[in-house]
């Protein structure tokens, strides 16, 4: 492959996001991460759901699949399992992933397919003009809402943890450099990685703006937080890790942590598949036509 | 005796399934062709279930209204199947149930108990009354204390009662065959197919012990029919699964649902068998099942999912997605009684219009329906080949009747078709110009490039898009892409061989039209009818051009649904009036006798426009 430049990862298509949208920062970080990791664009697929953030794949010069509202994770998992050699990144908004797609979000955690899921969290449904998203707090009223939000806030990190995501991190859309590093680590993680990105929506969310976030964010790793969960911990050590994770995942308000919260080593779904597909992943579904199927052998159990 | 049906009824989970398979294999080993029909409740154990094994001198795929031999393993069977044994037939029952009354049968539907109360003019008729009614209908009752026999044989063999009673199914089959004067040897061979090791040994000894008993000689006897090797006996769900493997399936997703699950479970059990190498993923719901299969297909893997009505409802958004991004996708739809949860374990063909039309917006899709077990195997291969040829959704219609029906057929009937016709672009090597995945073409087909193909970067979106796959709302591009996609239907109509679209089995002034599992019943019905023809539809969408065949005929549709969906479709597509709609929607398949009677009425000009068939228990 010829040496690629950063610009080669950018598609010709111009983003149609609002000026100042956090999506720009995430797009840049993703483009830089893929470039720095030297991922072959033809072996890389970015999947997305539906919404503003879901237009991301169209602006990257890698294979892009813009799926259905809430269905990005099952589609992405299908592709990754069928061709485990692909680098797969799934992206979508908070409504997409934790509203309509919540069931898939949870089920994906139980599988641990080797891919990175980036959740763009601006607390609102932007493309339909600012309705409350699943991460907007109870009683909060953005300027786009006629009344305060009567539904409670879902904590993406805790949900990802209970579902079984093996790498859990949070980043900030305007910290492109920090985000890029998190994306690189998430892509490199063996298993299902979840990156929660705090992202102001300058058009509809006047509560959690750039100005609101700036003084509150701090980096977990600057305070010596260790997310790594090595195998073989005693139950007591694991309890301690989990308590620490929970404390940080719940921290919201005056101080908001970003960085890697959890990093565990758990067999991937691909490895689990091997139990009944001994030739996987060497022989994987995308290879197409198999060698001759022994129908005669299969029919033996039905012989009369 | 050329035509014989043996029925076994009892509580679900009580081994009646094993009994029916054993009986079918035992007569199969004696050279008879067999077909088995299964009726069961949506329940794990305890509720009533029964199976019919019909045998014949040529392949069988229809079932009779009345049976020749009924084995009632419990009292409820006696109550439910009153009137279901033909005159001169046999009822084998356990005499201990005669102490029961109808209202002491806890699982019997109130409606049935009330009907029996009325019929016998008693608040709570005894099973003795019912037995008398069997006798009055000319049925020969034969008391047979199944459990006592099990205990006695168990004691002789030195086996504890609990273990001996696990052989009740073998005892029921052995007693039936012994009464019928059928030799023991094929039964022993059937046992060897069914059991292994110590269990086999015990069942063999039990069968031999049953055969040593003195039994009355029946007025009809079952002889051997000349065994020929090379036959297989399998269900529709298994045939569809095997057909998918033969068609190159490499990725199957599913969410558990009756009656579709059997197919995926078969695949799960055989993933690594003989080069199958098929990944099977159980998903969180049918929305994930369909989208995960689509994701796999985009990488070039032949992918499919299988479901039933409620699951198909959830899948419709995924179907539209596949249609829009031109993903090759097969959905095997096992229809069951609807609407909503409906009749989860009973048959229906109520999803025909839904399969053709379900979903918002318009996109090309193909719908084909299997009529029998051989069809299920061949059609599964065609469905995969067509999905890849036309890069769109193919819905393969089956139903509960076919899914759980088993049939013996010659091994050669399961032919590997080796269909091809995929239009793929070759990798273009280095370079970054986006690939025009959705370039317009005359036949509507654009070469497919799987994700991961070097040099072939492009986009896919569920939005309307331009040739490289970027979102567009441009009116001209909308027309170009919509027309390109929809052209695939015309291409399919032109390319698919007529033999795969429909079969005119026989012409006649009265022309019957059917699709799916009415096939076997109607084909056999033709033997009993004159001047009646049968046109079997295999491809339901795009709808075949059959109008010329219908000219000047009295048209009749026969289908398992309420409204006559096929009739509506035929009228819409051919502008010919369907004169009679024969429908059945009680969840039980149309019997041979019902079909013959209905079509005789049509032929004689005494049938109403709408004829509802209501038989079955």
Query: Which of chain B's residues have a Cβ under 8 Å away from the Cβ of A285?
Result: 250-251, 277-279, 296, 299, 301-303
The neighbouring-strand residues paired with B471 are B465
- The neighbour count for residue A30, using CB atoms within 10 Å, is 26
Structure tokens at B501: 């679209």
Q: Please tell me which of the candidates A62, A67, A302 has its beta carbon nearest to residue B462.
A: A67
Residue of A nearest to B291 (CA): A75
Is the pLDDT assigned to residue B135 strictly greater than 70?
Answer: yes
* Coil, helix or strand at residue B511: strand
Q: What angle do CA A280, A286, A292 make, to 5 degrees?
A: 75
Q: Which pLDDT tens digit goes with each residue over B247-289?
A: 999 999 999 999 999 999 999 999 877 778 999 999 999 999 9
Verify whether the Cβ–Cβ distance B458 to A63 is below 8 Å: yes
The mean pLDDT of B204-223, rounded to a whole number, is 95
Residue extents of the structural domains in chain B: 4-212, 233-413, 430-496, 499-612
CB neighbours of A55 closer than 8 A, spacing ≥ 6? A15, A16, A17, A23, A48, A66, B471
At the second CATH level, the architecture of B233-413 is 3-Layer(aba) Sandwich (3.40)
pLDDT band at A1 (very low <50, low <70, confident <90, very high): low
Q: Give the pairing of strands B532-537 and B502-506.
A: antiparallel
Distance of alpha carbon B200 from alpha carbon B208, whole angstroms: 12
What pLDDT band is residue B426 in, cutting at 50, 70 and 90? Answer: low
Percentage of chain B modeled with pLDDT above 70: 99
Q: Would you say B355 and B290 are in contact if contact means Cβ atoms under 8 Å apart? A: no
**A277/B contact by beta carbon, under 8 A:** yes
More confident position, A282 or A188: A188
- Say how far apart CA A60 and CA A4 lie, in whole Å: 14
Cis peptide before B542 (omega within 30 of 0): yes
**Chain B residues with CB-CB distance to A295 below 8 A:** 242, 245-246, 274, 414, 416
Q: CATH classification of B499-612 is 3.40.50.970, yes or no?
A: no
Nearest-angstrom CA–CA distance, A85 and A101? 26
Check if the beta carbon of residue B570 is closer than 8 Å to that of residue B532.
no
Q: Which residues of B touch A85 (CB under 8 A)?
A: 452
Q: Which of B251, B283, B411 sits opposite A82 (nearest CB)?
A: B251
A145 reaches B (C-beta below 8 A): no
CA distance A219 to B401: 62
Size of interface A-B (CB pairs under 8 A): 228
Give chain B's mean pLDDT. 96
The contacts found for A202-205 with CB under 8 angstroms, 24 or more apart, are: A202/A18, A202/A19, A202/A20, A202/A21, A203/A18, A203/A21, A203/A126, A203/A130, A203/A144, A204/A122, A204/A124, A204/A126, A204/A129, A204/A130, A204/A142, A204/A143, A204/A144, A205/A122, A205/A123, A205/A124, A205/A130, A205/A142, A205/A144
CA angle A288–A290–A295, rounded 5-degree value: 135
Domain ranges of chain A: 7-302
- A168 closest CA partner among A82, A76, A234, A263: A263
| B335: phi then psi, degrees, rounded to nearest 5 | -70, 145
pLDDT of residue B273: 77
Mean of per-residue pLDDT scores for chain A: 96
Helix (H, G, I), strand (E, B) or coil at B330: strand
Rounded to whole angstroms, the Cα distance separating B292 from B298 reads: 10
The predicted-structure confidence for A90-120, as pLDDT tens digits, reads as follows 999 999 999 999 999 999 999 999 999 999 9
**In this structure, what token pair is assigned to residue B615?**
């038989």
Q: Provide, as residue numbers in chain B, all residues whose Cβ is less than 8 Å from the Cβ of A8.
A: 432
CA distance A3 to chain B (A): 11
What pLDDT score was predicted for residue B533?
98
SS3 B102: helix
**What is the structure's pLDDT at A276?**
86
pLDDT on residue A294: 87
Distance of alpha carbon B121 from alpha carbon B286, whole angstroms: 50
The answer to whether the beta carbons of residues A268 and B387 sit under 8 Å apart is no
The strand pairing partners of A171, in sequence order, are A197
Interface residue A160 vs chain B (CB under 8 A): no
The whole-number average pLDDT for the span A181-210 is: 97
**Which of the four pLDDT bands, split at 50, 70 and 90, describes residue A289?**
low
Helix or strand holding residue B410 (H, E): strand B406-410
**Mean pLDDT throughout B540-566?**
98
Q: Please tell me which of the candidates B231, B325, B463 has its beta carbon nearest to residue A304.
A: B231
Looking at the DSSP bridge assignments, the partners of residue A140 are none
Among the residue ranges A264-273, B298-307, B408-417, B453-462, the one predicted with the least confidence is B453-462
Question: B236: which 2 tokens?
Answer: 């529709």
DSSP state of B94: -
Please identify which residue in the block is written with the tokens 């010659």.
Answer: B410
Q: CA-CA distance, B306 to A169, in Å (whole number)?
A: 36
B233: distance to nearest CA of chain A, Å? Answer: 5
Whole-number pLDDT of residue B431? 55
CA distance B351 to B191: 39
Average pLDDT over residues B205-224: 94
Contacts of A210 (CB under 8 A, 6+ apart): A20, A174, A200, A202
Please work out, in degrees rounded to the nearest 5, the angle formed at the alpha carbon of residue A177 by the alpha carbons of A174 and A180.
Answer: 100
Q: How many CB atoms lie within 10 A of CB A48?
A: 27
Phi, psi torsion values for B463, nearest 5 degrees:
-75, 165
Fold equal for B4-212 and B499-612: no
A282: CB partners within 8 A, 6+ apart: none
DSSP chain A: -PPPPGGGGB-SSPP-PPTT-THHHHHHHHHHHHHHTT--GGGEEEEE-SSSGGGGGGGBSSEEEE--TT-HHHHHHHHHHH-TTSEEEEEEEHIIIIIITHHHHHHHHHH--SEEEEEEE-SEETTTT-EEPTTSPTT---TT-SS---SPPP-HHHHHHHHT-SEEEEEETT-HHHHHHHHHHHHHSSSEEEEEEE---TTT--SS-HHHHTTTEEEGGGGT---EE-TT--HHHHHHHHHHHHHHHH--SS-EEEEEEEEE----HHHHHTTT-TTTTTS-GGG-S-SPP-HHHHHGGGB-
In the predicted model, is pLDDT for residue A292 greater than 80?
Answer: no
Residue A68 and residue B321: Cβ atoms within 8 Å? yes
Residue A66 in contact with partner chain B when CB distance is under 8 A: yes
pLDDT number for residue B428: 53
CATH no., domain B4-212: 3.40.920.10
A7-302: what CATH class? alpha beta
Q: At what angle do helices B286-298 and A102-111 cross, to 10 degrees?
A: 60
- pLDDT tens-place string over residues B391-406: 999 999 999 999 999 9
Edge-first strand listing for the sheet containing B393-399 = B279-282, B251-254, B303-308, B329-335, B393-399, B365-369, B539-541
Å between B461 CA and nearest CA of chain A: 4
* CA–CA distances in Å: residue A89 to residues A28, A30, A45, A77, B72: 14, 9, 6, 10, 60
- The whole model's pTM is what? 0.97
- Burial readout B347-360 (b: 16 or more C-beta within 10 A, e: otherwise): bbbbbbbbbbebbe
Q: What is the DSSP letter of B104?
A: G
């Amino acid at each position: 492959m010829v040496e690629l430049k950063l610009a080669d990862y950018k598609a010709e298509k111009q983003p149609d996001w609002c000026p100042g949208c956090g999506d720009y920062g995430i797009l840049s970080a993703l483009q830089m991460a893929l470039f720095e990791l030297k991922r072959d664009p033809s072996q890389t697929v970015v999947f997305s759901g539906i919404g503003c953030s879901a237009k991301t794949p169209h602006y990257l010069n890698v294979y892009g699949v813009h799926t259905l509202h809430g269905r990005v994770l099952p589609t992405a998992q299908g592709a990754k399992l069928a061709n485990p050699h692909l680098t797969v990144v799934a992206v979508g908004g908070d409504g997409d992933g934790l509203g309509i797609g919540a069931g898939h979000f949870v089920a994906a955690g139980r599988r641990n397919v080797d891919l990175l899921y980036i959740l763009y969290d601006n607390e609102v449904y932007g493309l339909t003009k600012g309705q409350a998203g699943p991460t907007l707090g109870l009683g909060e009223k953005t300027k786009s809402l006629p009344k305060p939000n009567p539904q409670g806030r879902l904590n993406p990190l805790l949900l990802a943890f209970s579902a079984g995501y093996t790498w859990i991190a949070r980043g900030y859309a305007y910290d492109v450099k920090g985000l890029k590093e998190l994306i690189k680590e998430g892509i490199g993680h063996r298993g299902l990685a979840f990156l929660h990105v705090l992202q102001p929506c300058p058009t509809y969310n006047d509560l959690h703006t750039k100005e609101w976030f700036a003084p509150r964010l701090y980096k977990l790793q600057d305070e010596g937080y260790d997310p790594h969960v090595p195998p073989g911990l005693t139950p007591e050590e694991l309890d301690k890790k989990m308590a620490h994770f929970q404390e940080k995942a719940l921290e919201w308000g005056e101080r908001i942590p970003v960085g890697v919260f959890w990093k565990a080593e758990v067999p991937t779904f691909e490895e689990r598949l091997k139990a009944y597909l001994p030739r996987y992943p060497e022989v994987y579904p995308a290879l197409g036509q198999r060698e001759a199927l022994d129908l005669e052998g299969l029919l033996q159990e039905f012989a009369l | 005796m050329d035509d014989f049906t043996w029925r076994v009824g009892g509580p679900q989970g009580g081994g009646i399934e094993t009994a029916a398979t054993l009986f079918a294999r035992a007569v199969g080993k004696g050279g008879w062709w067999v077909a088995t029909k299964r009726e069961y409740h949506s329940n794990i154990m305890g509720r009533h279930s029964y199976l019919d094994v019909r045998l014949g001198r040529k392949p069988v795929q229809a079932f009779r209204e009345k049976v020749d031999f009924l084995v009632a393993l419990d009292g409820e069977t006696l109550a439910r199947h009153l009137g279901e044994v033909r005159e001169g037939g046999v009822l084998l029952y356990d005499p201990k149930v005669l102490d029961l009354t109808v209202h002491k049968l806890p699982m019997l539907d109130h409606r049935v108990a009330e009907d029996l109360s009325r019929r016998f003019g008693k608040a709570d008729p005894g099973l003795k009354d019912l037995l008398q009614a069997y006798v009055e209908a000319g049925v020969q009752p034969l008391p047979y204390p199944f459990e006592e026999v099990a205990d006695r044989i168990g004691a002789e063999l030195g086996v504890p009662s609990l273990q001996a009673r696990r052989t009740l199914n073998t005892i029921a089959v052995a007693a039936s065959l012994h009464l019928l004067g059928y030799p023991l040897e094929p039964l022993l061979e059937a046992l060897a197919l069914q059991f292994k090791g110590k269990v086999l040994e015990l069942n063999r000894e039990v069968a031999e012990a049953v055969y040593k008993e003195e039994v009355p000689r029946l007025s009809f006897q079952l002889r051997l029919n000349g065994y020929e090797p090379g036959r297989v006996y399998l269900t529709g769900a298994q045939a569809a699964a095997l057909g998918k493997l033969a068609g190159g399936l490499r990725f199957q997703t599913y969410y558990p649902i009756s009656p579709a699950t059997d197919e995926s479970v078969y695949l799960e059990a055989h993933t690594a068998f003989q080069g199958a190498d098929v990944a099977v993923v159980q998903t969180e719901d049918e929305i994930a099942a369909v989208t995960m299969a689509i994701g796999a297909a985009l990488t070039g893997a032949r992918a499919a999912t299988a479901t039933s009505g409620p699951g198909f409802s959830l899948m419709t958004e995924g179907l539209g997605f596949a249609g829009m991004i031109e993903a090759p996708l097969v959905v095997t739809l096992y229809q069951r009684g609807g609407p909503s949860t409906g009749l989860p374990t009973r048959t229906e063909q109520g999803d025909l219009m839904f399969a053709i039309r379900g979903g918002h917006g318009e996109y090309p899709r193909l719908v084909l329906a299997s009529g029998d077990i051989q069809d299920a195997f061949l059609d599964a291969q065609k469905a995969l080949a067509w999905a890849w040829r036309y890069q769109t959704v193919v819905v393969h219609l089956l139903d509960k009747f076919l899914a759980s029906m088993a049939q013996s057929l010659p091994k050669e009937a399961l032919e590997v078709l080796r269909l091809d016709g995929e239009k793929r672009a070759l990798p273009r090597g280095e370079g970054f110009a986006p690939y025009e995945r959705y370039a317009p073409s005359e036949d509507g087909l654009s070469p497919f490039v799987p994700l991961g193909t070097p040099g072939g970067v492009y986009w896919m979106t569920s939005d309307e898009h331009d040739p490289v796959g970027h979102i567009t709302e441009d009116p001209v591009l909308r027309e170009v892409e919509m027309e390109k996609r929809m052209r695939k239907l015309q291409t399919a109509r032109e390319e698919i061989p007529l033999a795969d679209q429909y079969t005119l089995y026989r012409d006649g002034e009265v022309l019957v039209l059917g699709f799916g599992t009415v096939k076997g019943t109607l084909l056999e019905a033709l033997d009993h009818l004159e001047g009646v023809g049968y046109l079997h539809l295999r491809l339901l969408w795009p709808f075949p051009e059959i109008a010329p065949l219908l000219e000047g005929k009295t048209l009749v549709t026969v289908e398992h649904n309420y409204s006559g969906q096929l009739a509506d479709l035929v009228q819409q597509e051919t502008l010919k009036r369907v004169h009679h709609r024969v429908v059945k929607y009680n969840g039980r398949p149309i019997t041979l006798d019902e079909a013959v009677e209905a079509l005789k009425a049509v032929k004689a000009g005494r049938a109403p426009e709408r004829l509802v068939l209501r038989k079955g228990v």
